[in-house]
Structure 1
């Protein structure tokens, strides 16, 4: 049976502006508009779809101009929207500030994507061969934490779940965090998030702590290679923790232009590689290549195609 990715993460609209630097408090800085496009979990789904994994969006979306834009862009990428639009509320947005070094800073305003109902999500039933993507943005108390953590308890045991806590992970309620990490097969985050979540001072200690969480630790105790933790290191690649053992998977040196969505691209490519039957180490290497190519392009949804990733992984083929 063909696997598919089902994302229940939030899709919002990115309003992207380039600034020479962030303004001081109470100050101002002249910016250059860089575009308006869907972001958030949209980037993860695009990366997975472009790597050949059938993908569907099971989050909420609004009925205004932003919701229309989300649905049009999903359709353009061949991604199914499983739920009907939310009446009377538009999709939310963020303002993404990209500084001269390519780093991004966000200000987010939630909309319909943060008002998912238990009734709506109950109609989404992943199969044993499917993969589920969860984003920390959708697990906040003011978004969909209670609804999604309850729904996750209905997901079949054979469905692989990846949880990306994101930069607001510290704001996820403790009970939601416990329920989600008790079911997730994979946890993927960057080094800053990993140290923030664990209280450790370096990525190695942090990934060991993350790898011992909930279902991830249970999988390790069983000796399986079907789950673990990933800590993304930017240009240095990533760390992979399987069964308590850490592997450093090297990155690919590139000239970064825009890091927006790089972590999302990494997660999407990793899931696509797992679905294709690759070992987690090989999947992480493919994810590193996907993220490396993504940051060489301007914009949030810059994930490369499978052929482009293949060419970077094996230049002689």
Structure 2
């Protein structure tokens, strides 16, 4: 019996959320609707100009969002990311644990905890300015291998392939998982990640990965195909199980070369940020609680359909106990 359903590894970022007038973006010369990497000084300038606007804090990062949503469904998770001994770092740890996720880190005194200023305009579009801070220094020494061994799955985000030490931490997590009978789940994270690290992602998928998560754009980028079914089949030749989201149509599942489309839940989205993270959460919950692959994807589709009706990547409803009601009419 495993202590944790999933052991997550990823960037640890505090989201600083503010609702703004679009004129603020014009004033600060910020490109609307995109994520931009900024340094601490630039982010400080923006925050100073937001001093009269109410702000909310959330622990974040792609894989962290997934762990929180798994816990929301009733699963058990541990998460590893890098923060430091500052106000944001202390907040991050408490917020993760309040969300039901065991958060572990070996804090450094130097540097600052990574932050992402999330500016939301009345049209529900989000503009993000990210200062990665100390999150980029996550290294192999930060991975608690004993806790990893107590987990059914390890889940690693592709965003970590932007740094040498984070790459090493990720590959160590994967290799130790394989040695100890822990299944490896890997998300390709973003088409830009795939394009930058395509050959490495292919190698990792072949060598370590049991379960791949991606969206259609990422799948097409990795496979070099133009048809989604061909893309997911290509990735399925690298790993035994692949889940590829397809927006309102649901998600493709490829198991041992067989491709099926699991239908989604039609909703009117107001913010698609975090949809992929939520899908992975629901699917991993299913895989660790005895669901079939298709039923797991169906629950993943439901969790994703709920998150796109919220502003931000955190659900305001509790999913624990809703599975039977939502899935009662689903036939594999």
Partner of 1:178: 203
SS in structure 2 opposite 1:153? Answer: helix
TM-fit CA distance, 1:35: 3.6
1:190 matched to which residue of 2? 215
Counterpart for residue 254 of structure 1: 267
User: Paired residue for 1:141?
Assistant: 163
Alpha-carbon contact 2:269-2:309 (below 8 Å) kept? yes
Q: Taking structure 1 as reference, are residues 20 and 199 closer, same or farther at Cα in structure 2, changes over 3 Å only?
A: farther
Matched, 1:203 2:228: yes
Determine the structure 1 residue equivalent to 2:295. Answer: 282
Contact 2:223–2:231 (8 Å) recurs in 1:
yes
Partner of 1:15: 16
CA RMSD, 1 decimal: 3.0
Q: Distance in 2 between matches of 1:62 and 1:172?
A: 28
* DSSP 3-state at the match of 2:176: coil
Aligned to 2:40: none
* 1:310 Cα offset (Å): 4.0
Q: CA deviation at 1:108?
A: 2.8
Of the three residues 282, 286, 300, the one matched with 1:273 is 286
- In the alignment, which of 57, 60, 81 is matched to residue 36 of structure 1? 57
Q: Does structure 2 conserve the Cα–Cα contact (< 8 Å) formed by 1:103 and 1:259?
A: no
Question: C-alpha separation between the residues in 2 aligned to 1:264 and 1:150?
Answer: 22
Aligned to 2:148, the other structure's residue is in SS state coil
CA contact (8 A) 1:289 1:313 kept: no
Cα distance in 1 for residues equivalent to 2:176 and 2:126: 36
| 1:6 pairs with 2:7 | yes
In structure 1, what is the Cα distance between the partners aligned to 2:205 and 2:133?
23
For 1:127, the equivalent position in structure 2 comes to: 149
Give matches, 1:1-317, under 5 Å: 1-4=1-4, 5-17=6-18, 35-40=56-61, 41-96=63-118, 104=126, 106-121=128-143, 123-127=145-149, 130-141=152-163, 144-155=166-177, 156-167=179-190, 168-169=192-193, 170-172=195-197, 174-175=199-200, 178-179=203-204, 181-213=206-238, 216=239, 219=240, 228-302=241-315, 304-314=318-328
Classify 1:65/1:59 alpha carbon distance in 2 versus 1 (closer, same or farther; 3 Å). same
- Partners of 2:22 and 2:263 in 1: CA distance: 30
Measure the CA separation in 1 of the matches of 2:320 and 2:76.
Answer: 13
Residues 225-272 of structure 1: CA deviation (Å, up to 9, x unaligned): xxx111111222111111111110000011212222111111111111
CA distance, structure 1, for counterparts of residue 167 and residue 263 of structure 2: 34
1:180–1:243 CA distance, 2 compared to 1 (3 A): closer
The two structures have a TM-score, normalised by structure 2, of: 0.80
Could you give the per-residue CA deviations for residues 33-60 of structure 1, whole angstroms, max 9, x where no partner exists?
Answer: 7743222222101111112211111222
Change (3 A) 1:211 1:17: farther
Moved more, 230-239 or 107-116: 107-116
Shift of 1:292: 0.7
User: What SS class does the counterpart of residue 234 from structure 2 fall into?
Assistant: helix
Unaligned runs of 5+ in 1: 220-227
TM-score scaled to structure 1, two decimals? 0.83
- What are the Cα deviations for residues 190-242 of structure 1, in whole angstroms up to 9, with x where unaligned? 111111222222321211111112xx1xx4xxxxxxxx111111222111111
**SS in structure 2 at match of 1:246:** strand
Structure 1 position 186, deviation (Å): 0.8
